[in-house]
Amino acid sequence: MGKKIIRIVLFAFYAAVIVSAAVPAQAEDGVAVSKDGTPIAFSVYGEGEPALIFVHGWCCNRSVWKNQVPYFEKEYKVVTLDLAGHGASGTERDVYSMEAFGEDVAAVVRQMQASQVILIGHSMSGMVIIEAAEIIPDHVIALIGIDTMQDLEETYPPEQIEEHLKPFRDDFKTTVDSFVRGMFVEGTDPELMDEVAGMMSGASQKTGVSAMEEMMKMSYITDPPYIKVPVWCLNADLWPTNPEVNRKYVPEFNLRLMPDRGHFIMLEDPDEFNRELDGIIKEIKADALDEEDGGNY
């Protein structure tokens, strides 16, 4: 009888270990204060360098990285955050510019006192992480854009911007719902489409319209980015990416594609996405070590 009890206890112990290994660690939630005083909510998981800072795109929030946290927290410190006007962060900003979003990211990095970070930004936040890297260059060792930076020379005349924004001003929820569903490929899980469309169409109209306007007004032709670290993009092929054009502005621009997926590749195919992103991060780390060693092995 005693041996049976011991076996049961041991079985329960090992089962608990297996289950706990599959569940992400409890987040350490915090709030940083951006340059303009806006509170920025963030969550921290795991340990290890470099820290991976995941930045969501337009009208999203940090929950879009739910499938990346359990994978990457095993080896790195993983940080997810809500940009101002999104999720649990402050909403009092008048203009939601890419530079101001960059200050949000910088505020989180500074509060964490992270010496080495890789900034990972989806969609609109390809621009945001460029801004953040210019604000805190001593902390950033690389940028990774997720389905973004397709063409750094892309610009929009004022009349086109206004034409594009009008339906978002008139009926934000309906327009965003239709807009988002057009970013998925045929065969995408309908429940995933509903989840993403619901999240984004339920975002703040004030934030969404302002951020889209500020994003479309930006021009790297007239105001080139000043980035000295490697830039990678892990993109779908829903829209073509032009690496030759991008290297005119970012010489160390690297591209990896995940074909036949839509815009939200980290949600649509998380397992393959995590493997691809992990490979990019390991390549960045190897190149950084090689540079530190002066190319000597």
Q: What is the pLDDT of residues 187-223, one digit of tens each?
A: 999 999 999 999 999 999 999 999 999 999 999 999 9
Amino acid letter for position 137:
P
Q: Is the dihedral of CA 53, 58, 62, 66 positive or negative?
A: negative
Helical H segments across 42-184, by residue range: 69-72, 98-112, 125-135, 158-170, 172-181
Of 236, 267, 214, nearest to 60 by C-alpha is 267
Of 46, 45, 49, 121, nearest to 289 by C-alpha is 49
Residue spans of the domains in the chain: they are 25-154+220-292
C-alpha 124/C-alpha 243 separation (Å) is 18
Residue 109 scores a pLDDT above 50: yes
This prediction's pTM: 0.90
C-alpha 270/C-alpha 293 separation (Å) is 34
The predicted structure's pLDDT at residue 27: 85
Residue 149: DSSP 8-state: -
Amino acid letter for position 262:
G
pLDDT category at 294 given cuts 50, 70, 90 is low
- Homologous superfamily (CATH) for 25-154+220-292: Alpha/Beta hydrolase fold, catalytic domain (3.40.50.1820)
Entry field: residues in the chain: 297
Residue 23 scores a pLDDT above 70: no
* CA-to-CA dists, residue 12 to 25, 187, 249, 275, angstroms: 20, 41, 57, 32
pLDDT category at 25 given cuts 50, 70, 90 is low
* CA-to-CA dists, residue 27 to 69, 77, 79, 101, 107, angstroms: 10, 11, 9, 23, 19
pLDDT category at 19 given cuts 50, 70, 90 is very low
Contact between residue 175 and residue 203 where contact means Cβ atoms under 8 Å apart: no
Half-sphere exposure of 131 (CA within 13 A, CB side): 21
Span 111-141, pLDDT tens digits: 999 899 999 999 999 999 999 999 999 999 9
